């Protein structure tokens, strides 16, 4: 079978894998951002228990391979009575991993907000949490856009790792076709190009968002 014909034959299955890859990445990004904001707030807290817990979590998740985390969640948790299906386990692992990186991005962005903004919010009668919610975090998200975009691009590529727990994302879809055609080279090249196209599109979108957010600041 010619390479072009092979890829055309495999395209419906690869397209399904692309859709699942994007869904995995977006779900993990949204959940990871929510987790990251919480961990970031814990990380700037004056409470030593919250602060150390956040730092320990970030250190653990950033200091261990994502593949090990996936195995631990999918194959390890059943040992203590917690069994998850591959999709749930994959999203949970990606979320937990992304949350650590996003937490550091958000913590840095929050720390970059001028302390005068905190004082102004407190003078208006806003509590600490209200100041974070209505004043600090919205501005921090704006500052963190480049880092958030980079994390989403990384997540697109990291979804390939969940193929090891039988999630039929893009890489797994290609492997299933390879198992029946025994022609790995054209399909792996096609998969690499698809990942590249997705990453390039996200990079373009990130730059557009950055440009748009910067416009009011330059007027």
Among 100, 97, 68, 98, which Cα is nearest to 165's? 68
CATH number at residue 192: 1.10.3720.10
Question: What pLDDT is attached to residue 94?
Answer: 95
How much is the pTM? Answer: 0.87
Question: What pLDDT is attached to residue 128?
Answer: 86
Each residue of 161-172: pLDDT tens digit? 999 998 888 999
Q: Is 214 helix (H, G, I), strand (E, B) or coil?
A: helix
Each residue of 107-122: pLDDT tens digit? 999 988 888 888 888 8
Each residue of 15-36: pLDDT tens digit? 999 999 999 999 999 999 999 9
Please report how the helices 145-158 and 184-214 are oriented relative to each other, as an axis angle in degrees rounded to 10.
170
Each residue of 189-206: pLDDT tens digit? 999 999 999 999 999 988
Percent of the chain with pLDDT over 70: 97
Question: What pLDDT is attached to residue 21?
Answer: 93
Number of domains present in the structure of the chain: 1
Among 27, 213, 35, which Cα is nearest to 107's? 35
**Domain residue limits at 114:** 3-218
């Amino acid at each position: 079978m010619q390479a072009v014909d092979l890829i055309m034959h495999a395209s419906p299955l690869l397209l399904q894998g692309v859709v699942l890859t994007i869904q995995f990445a977006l779900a993990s990004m949204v959940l990871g951002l929510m987790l990251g904001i919480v961990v970031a707030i814990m990380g700037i807290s004056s409470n030593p228990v919250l602060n150390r817990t956040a730092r320990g979590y970030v250190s653990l998740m950033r200091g261990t391979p994502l593949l090990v985390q996936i195995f631990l969640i999918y194959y390890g948790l059943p040992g203590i009575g917690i069994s998850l299906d591959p999709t749930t386990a994959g999203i949970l692992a990606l979320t937990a991993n992304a949350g650590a990186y996003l937490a550091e991005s958000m913590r840095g962005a929050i720390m970059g907000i001028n302390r005068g903004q905190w004082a102004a919010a407190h003078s208006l009668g806003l509590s600490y949490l209200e100041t974070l919610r209505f004043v600090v975090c919205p501005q921090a998200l704006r500052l963190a856009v480049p880092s958030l975009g980079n994390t989403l691009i990384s997540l697109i590529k990291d979804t390939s790792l969940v193929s090891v727990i039988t999630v039929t994302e893009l890489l797994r879809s290609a492997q299933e076709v390879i198992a029946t055609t025994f022609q790995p080279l054209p399909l792996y090249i096609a998969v690499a190009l698809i990942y590249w196209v997705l990453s390039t599109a996200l990079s373009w979108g990130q730059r557009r968002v950055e440009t748009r957010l910067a416009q009011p600041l330059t007027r």
